[in-house]
Amino acid sequence: MLPFNAISSVFVERFILALVMALLAITISISRWGYSVDQAFYDAVLTRFPSEPPKDLLIVAIDERSLLEIGRWPWSRRVHAQLLDKLREADAQAVAFDIIFPDPDRYDPQSDQIFSEAIANFGSVVLSVHMEQTYQGGQILEVLPTPILASSAAALGHVHVEYDVDGVCRAVFLKEGLGEAYWPHLMLSLLNLVYPDEDYEIPGLRPNESITNSSFAISRDYFNLIPLAGPPPQVESVSYTDVIHDRIPLRTLSDKVVLIGATAQGMGDLIATPFGTMDGVEFNANIYKSLLHKTTIIPVDVHLHWIFSCIIVFVLILSGAYATPRQYFILTSVYVLSITLLSAIFILYARLWFAPLAVIIPLLLFYPIWSWRRLEQAIRFLRRELYRAQQEAESSNQQIDTKLAERLTFVAKIVGLSQWQISDGSSDGGKSFNHMKPIDVVSSDNFNRVSISWDESSDMDTKYSQLWRSAIDLNANVVEKPEKKPAELVTATIQSLRKATQEAEINRKFTRQCLENIRGAIVVTNIFGEAILINDTARSSFDLVEDKPLHLLEFLHDFQIDGNWLHLIQTAILEQTDISVEAKLVNTEKEYLCQLVALNWQSKYTDTLLFSFTDITMVKESERARTEALHFLSHDLRSPVVSILALIEQYRNTKLNRDDVVEKSEVNSMLSDIEAYARKNLSFAESFLQLARAEIAGQSKFDLCDIHSVIDNALLMVRHPASQKKIKIDISRTMDDMWVEGDGELLERLLINLLTNAIKYSSSDTLVQVFAEVEGSNLVIKVKDQGHGIKPEDLPNIFQRFKRVAGQTNVSGAGLGLHFVEIVARKHGGSVRVESEFGKGSCFIVVLPAYQDDTLLDD
Ligand code: ADP
């Protein structure tokens, strides 16, 4: 993510660019640059959606046929009078002459009179006013109909249409005149005649500048764009000659608004329109219809146009400030399409013409400019970051870029390799190397060849050679071969970035692997107690499920410590000290040393807690064992000696000091007491030593032992104490071979301990039974007695070190015998368990894995 100041600088840059683009919109709007494209769009919309053809309108066309039948133009005004009479007869509504009658008829002045009367008789007749320049650059004159005609006409109107720069006619000024826009358009006058009572508000764009009052310049007002009904002919039309020769039924003319104009070729009244050339009279018909239906199109005032263009461009560009380049590309397309569409909708429905190019060009231009700026910035940023990463990599490389020879010497020592050499790349090493191809190493300033050899007989096996190979590879990787960089900047930057990412990935993997391979359990949480990293050891030790989120308090809940976890965490954070505490995992016997460190990793305050758990169960166990051993030495082993010393002291004080005659029996009794204590001590010491031996016993010292002879030897050893208590020992065993891999002496001692206990904890005249059987792949030895038995609550403890059942002070023992049995059974891969009924007797069952070797059995 970009830092805040980077974001704000990006925004400022976009703001400035948006302003520039808005200015461009104004420039385009004012200069009318690209005007022809706008016009083409306008034409495309209107030609695709033409307006309705005018109805109730009739053109009386002065066509070729009329010229043929009536004669050459100009015709006598009597003909026009005749036409008017016909139209009157047919009851036509109104008539507009798109013909100019500037002069009186010099050859037939009577005809003017007749025509004038016909005009007057008809009533609703409009005549044309024409504005004319006498010569190029000369004065402009208003040419009115000759006075006799003008006076009888109901109204006059100018017949000018407006040509665009492309020579196409799309518009008209509804008022025009010399000095003052006085004359309404011929069609406006006609409309006013047809609908005299209506308060018709003249549509159109009014000029902004104050109307010039110069009587020599044309003033114009009420600018309107005229939507056309389509390519001509769209308006109903009859031939002039047909009308005056009664070839047209009168009802065709009845109630019609009639436009009289020339359509014959060569009469020069053709107009270029978006639909192609059109007769002036048809164009006028379109004007009439647009005025009647109020469908003329009014262009947006030029000032408003540039203000709107500027605002739209500015707002749209800023609106996409947070879009990605791809999103902005889509946005731009959507904007451009919407503006085009809106503009078309405005033309067709709102009858407003907003030229869209002034908005579209800046929007389209902004995208590449902005993308270029962003690309520039991105590349600059990437190069800066890459440079920094390279600097870091170089400095770390320098640290490990010690001399190749020095490094390989170390590896050679590990591998135990004596014959190896580095030569410069040019020579071949000078020796014969059968086992490995020489390896070329490119380092920062030179090129080396490493060659090694070893004897066929040497124990340089493949693993070692692989180690050697990877050591050399590693060295070669440290300083890479110079790569050919692509010339194109973006590709080169992307390549460098990819390399940097790969290196980062390798580093990440390396750190991860180191962490995973740490034997201690690591749990890292954020300051909210949510685990963000748990290594494999922690997962397996504490049964943590991979995908389940872990919360610290829930996790620590299972660890019992001296004190309070929250308090410890608080101390670690506030005092920034490392905390170590011993913790016990509930429901298990596991004990851990927990170390807690508060880190500030992302901010300057503590944001991360690192817990490491080291399993100290064994350490604690041996610590306990040592304490117990000390206790044993200081108490159990010491007390018989103290008793012996006390006996001697007592004897010296009571007997010897008083020079009494010492009875032989007294001496004997004292000596047997001393003997008993000494034996007890010896037995304790022996048990202790045996235990120590059992604890260090390892499989490396195991031999094959025959359990039959182990049992026989043990029975021999306990025969005496058994007979003393008149206890009979029975043996029941299988005749099968019973071999185990183990330590014969320890196994024998195991059996002696069990038998001794059976005798010790049984009354006289009872029976002790020994069973030896093969069960599957195991050998099972049972020692069963009819003694006191063991209470159920004591059963779980009797195999523990120094554990004796309470209230057995009359039976000597150190509480080590069964512990020894348990250890020896375990060391041999077996186990021991007890079944006992208090008051009835006990049965100790030892299970040992039998030695599995068919060859031995066959032998
Ligand atoms: P000790 O030196 O006390 O005999 P052991 O480890 O051999 O120590 O035995 C631990 C305890 O188990 C004894 O104190 C005794 O109470 C009980 N025990 C062991 N063997 C027997 C047995 N055969 N019958 C009853 N109790 C037994």
Atom of ligand 1 nearest to the CA of 818: 6
What's the CA-to-centroid distance between 813 and ligand 1, angstroms? Answer: 8
What's the CA-to-centroid distance between 697 and ligand 1, angstroms? Answer: 23
Atom of ligand 1 nearest to the CA of 816: 6
By alpha-carbon position, which residue is closest to atom 7 of ligand 1?
Answer: 817
State the pairing for strand pair 579-585/559-561. antiparallel
By alpha-carbon position, which residue is closest to atom 23 of ligand 1?
Answer: 758
> What's the pLDDT score for residue 438?
59
Whether the per-residue pLDDT at 806 is higher than 60: the answer is: yes
By alpha-carbon position, which residue is closest to atom 20 of ligand 1?
Answer: 757
Q: Which residues pair with 177 in a beta bridge?
A: 219
By alpha-carbon position, which residue is closest to atom 13 of ligand 1?
Answer: 804
Q: How many CA atoms lie within 13 A of 732 on its CB side?
A: 7
The DSSP secondary structure of 378-411, one letter per residue, reads: HHHHHHHHHHHHHHHHHHHHHHH---HHHHHHHH
Mutate to test the pocket of ligand 1, among 690, 761, 819 (most ligand atoms within 8 A of CB): 761
What's the CA-to-centroid distance between 113 and ligand 1, angstroms? Answer: 158
Mutate to test the pocket of ligand 1, among 679, 802, 804 (most ligand atoms within 8 A of CB): 804
State the pairing for strand pair 94-97/125-133. parallel
Provide the pLDDT confidence category of residue 433 given band limits of 50, 70 and 90.
very low
3-state secondary structure of 431: coil
What's the CA-to-centroid distance between 773 and ligand 1, angstroms? Answer: 24
Helix (H) or strand (E) holding 223: strand 218-225
What's the CA-to-centroid distance between 818 and ligand 1, angstroms? Answer: 7
Q: pLDDT of 163-203, one tens digit each?
A: 988 899 999 999 998 888 889 999 999 999 999 887 889 99
For 416-522, where are the alpha helices, taking DSSP H only? 462-478, 489-517
> What's the pLDDT score for residue 401?
45
Share of the chain above pLDDT 90, in %: 45
Atom of ligand 1 nearest to the CA of 815: 8
> What's the pLDDT score for residue 605?
81
∠ Cα 754 759 760 (to 5°): 95
Q: pLDDT of 248-287, one tens digit each?
A: 998 889 999 999 999 998 887 789 999 999 999 999 999 9
Ligand 1 pocket, Cβ-based, cut-off 6 angstroms? 757-758, 761, 785, 787-790, 798, 804-805, 808, 813-819, 842
∠ Cα 177 180 182 (to 5°): 55
Atom of ligand 1 nearest to the CA of 783: 23
For 635-743, where are the alpha helices, taking DSSP H only? 638-651, 664-696, 707-724
Q: How many helices (H) and strands (E) does the chain have?
A: 26, 31
Contact 324, 32 (CB under 8 A): no
What's the CA-to-centroid distance between 287 and ligand 1, angstroms? Answer: 127
3-state secondary structure of 221: strand
> What's the pLDDT score for residue 783?
96
What's the CA-to-centroid distance between 642 and ligand 1, angstroms? Answer: 25
What's the CA-to-centroid distance between 8 and ligand 1, angstroms? Answer: 83
By alpha-carbon position, which residue is closest to atom 8 of ligand 1?
Answer: 815
> What's the pLDDT score for residue 481?
47
Provide the pLDDT confidence category of residue 859 given band limits of 50, 70 and 90.
very low
What's the CA-to-centroid distance between 107 and ligand 1, angstroms? Answer: 162
Atom of ligand 1 nearest to the CA of 805: 16
Higher pLDDT, 600 or 714: 714
What's the CA-to-centroid distance between 742 and ligand 1, angstroms? Answer: 25
By alpha-carbon position, which residue is closest to atom 19 of ligand 1?
Answer: 757
What's the CA-to-centroid distance between 832 and ligand 1, angstroms? Answer: 14
| 3 state SS for 489-519 | HHHHHHHHHHHHHHHHHHHHHHHHHHHHHCC
Atom of ligand 1 nearest to the CA of 814: 2
Atom of ligand 1 nearest to the CA of 820: 6
For residue 495 the two structure tokens come to 């390549």
What's the CA-to-centroid distance between 789 and ligand 1, angstroms? Answer: 9
> What's the pLDDT score for residue 507?
83
Mutate to test the pocket of ligand 1, among 750, 757, 812 (most ligand atoms within 8 A of CB): 757
pTM of the predicted model, to two decimals? 0.55
> What's the pLDDT score for residue 2?
47
Q: Which of 2-11, 306-315, 620-629 has the lowest mean pLDDT?
A: 2-11
Whether the per-residue pLDDT at 477 is higher than 60: the answer is: no
What's the CA-to-centroid distance between 797 and ligand 1, angstroms? Answer: 10
Provide the pLDDT confidence category of residue 132 given band limits of 50, 70 and 90.
confident
Contact 429, 438 (CB under 8 A): yes
Whether the per-residue pLDDT at 855 is higher than 60: the answer is: no
By alpha-carbon position, which residue is closest to atom 21 of ligand 1?
Answer: 757
Atom of ligand 1 nearest to the CA of 804: 14
Pairwise CA distance, residues 808 & 821, whole Å: 20
Ranked by mean pLDDT, the top range of 652-656, 839-843, 852-856 is 839-843
Pairwise CA distance, residues 321 & 27, whole Å: 24
The closest of 56, 51, 59, 93 to 233, measured between CA atoms, is: 59
Q: pLDDT of 203-251, one tens digit each?
A: 999 987 655 556 677 888 999 999 999 998 899 999 999 999 999 998 8
Q: Which of 135-144, 260-269, 723-732 has the lowest mean pLDDT?
A: 135-144
Atom of ligand 1 nearest to the CA of 819: 6
Sequence-ordered list of residues with C-beta below 8 angstroms from that of 220, at least 6 positions apart, any chain: 173, 175, 176, 181, 207
Q: pLDDT of 77-112, one tens digit each?
A: 999 999 999 999 999 999 999 999 999 988 888 999
Q: How many CA atoms lie within 13 A of 357 on its CB side?
A: 16
Residue range 808-834: mean pLDDT, rounded? 87
What's the CA-to-centroid distance between 757 and ligand 1, angstroms? Answer: 6
What's the CA-to-centroid distance between 629 and ligand 1, angstroms? Answer: 19
> What's the pLDDT score for residue 141?
85
Pairwise CA distance, residues 344 & 350, whole Å: 10
